[in-house]
């Protein structure tokens, strides 16, 4: 039999699928793979962190500060007085493994965060909106509650994964560092129960300091009545339970424990 060479059919090396379709399929596939890697990383980090004691956490993060923190001026009275309040409130949690540190972030969004190692960050916008020391004490006590329940550590896996994601997409100059922006996104993952438990401990701290819980919820009440349409305040509420429900839950919790709902309040100097 004589072999007769034949030319391959025209277009044999050209796909029948449109190039844009192929590109879309490739991007989608890579995105799914990357998302799966992130999820696995989150699970692995969370698993490892469950074995990290509070003492080890403090030792690792005792001097850590997010590299994207924009601090206020050193002589800012808001920072010095808030730091003094943190120290006073901490006395009501005598067996705390944390030596709390406070930093004030120059931000136009009212927020407060509990970060690894006992670091509490509050924004200037929040400090400018609280009306009394009692209001601020509850906000700080709430963050104490997150430390007590170690909510911040449980969410750290998400923060690490987000840092890696942002670094890969080149959205972060920190090369994947766990900074304020990533921390903020991570804190939004707190469940309603985590927030409610932190509220309960925060209210306990306020009662221990003042002998009553008056003004504890006034900050949230004011935001609902006056400014709820403000986008910055909507951002704050997106990280916490509904403001109205939260206030009613706080009052119910106080009544259950027999804590007075009214009492003398302490004004702020700023």
Give 51's pLDDT tier (boundaries 50, 70, 90). Answer: confident
Whole-model pTM above 0.85? Answer: no
The predicted-structure confidence for 158-185, as pLDDT tens digits, reads as follows 665 666 556 555 544 444 455 665 555 5
Determine, yes or no, domain membership for 18.
no
User: Tokens 């429900």 belong to which residue?
Assistant: 245
Domain presence at residue 118: yes
Question: Does residue 68 belong to any structural domain of this protein?
Answer: yes
Residue 5 domain-assigned (yes or no): no
Our CA dihedral for 74, 268, 204, 64, rounded to 10 degrees, sits at -10
**In this structure, is residue 20 part of a structural domain?**
no
Give me the number of domains the chain comprises: 1
Which one, of 165, 128, 63, 68, lies nearest residue 270 by Cα?
Answer: 128
Percent of the chain whose pLDDT exceeds 90 = 41
Does any domain span residue 148? yes
Flag whether 120 is in a domain: yes
Burial of 51 (0-12, 13-18, 19+ CB in 10 A): exposed
Q: Does a structural domain hold residue 60? A: yes
Range of the domain at 217: 52-155+190-257
pLDDT tens profile 109-139: 888 999 889 999 999 999 999 999 999 999 9
């Amino acid at each position: 039999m004589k072999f007769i060479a034949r030319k391959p059919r025209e277009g044999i090396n050209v796909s029948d699928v449109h190039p844009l379709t192929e590109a879309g399929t490739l991007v989608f596939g890579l995105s799914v793979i990357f998302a799966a890697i992130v999820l696995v990383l989150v699970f692995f980090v969370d698993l490892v962190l469950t074995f990290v004691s509070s003492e080890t956490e403090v030792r690792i993060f005792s001097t850590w500060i997010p590299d994207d923190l924009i601090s206020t001026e050193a002589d800012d009275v808001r920072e010095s007085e808030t730091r003094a309040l943190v120290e006073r409130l901490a006395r009501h949690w005598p067996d705390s493994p944390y030596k709390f540190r406070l930093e004030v972030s120059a931000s136009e969004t009212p927020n407060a965060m509990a970060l690894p190692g006992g670091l509490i960050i509050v924004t200037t916008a929040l400090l400018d909106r609280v009306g009394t020391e009692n209001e601020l004490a509850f906000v700080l006590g709430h963050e104490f509650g997150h430390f007590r329940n170690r909510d911040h550590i449980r969410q750290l896996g998400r923060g690490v994964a987000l840092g890696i994601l942002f670094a890969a997409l080149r959205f972060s100059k920190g090369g994947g560092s766990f900074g304020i922006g990533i921390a903020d996104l991570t804190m939004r993952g707190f469940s309603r129960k985590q927030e409610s438990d932190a509220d309960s401990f925060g209210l306990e701290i306020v009662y221990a300091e003042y002998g009553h819980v008056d003004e504890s919820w006034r900050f949230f009440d004011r935001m609902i009545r006056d400014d709820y349409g403000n986008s910055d305040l909507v951002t704050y509420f997106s990280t916490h339970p509904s403001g109205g429900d939260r206030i009613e839950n706080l009052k119910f919790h106080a009544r259950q424990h027999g804590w007075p709902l009214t009492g003398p309040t302490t004004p702020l100097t700023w």
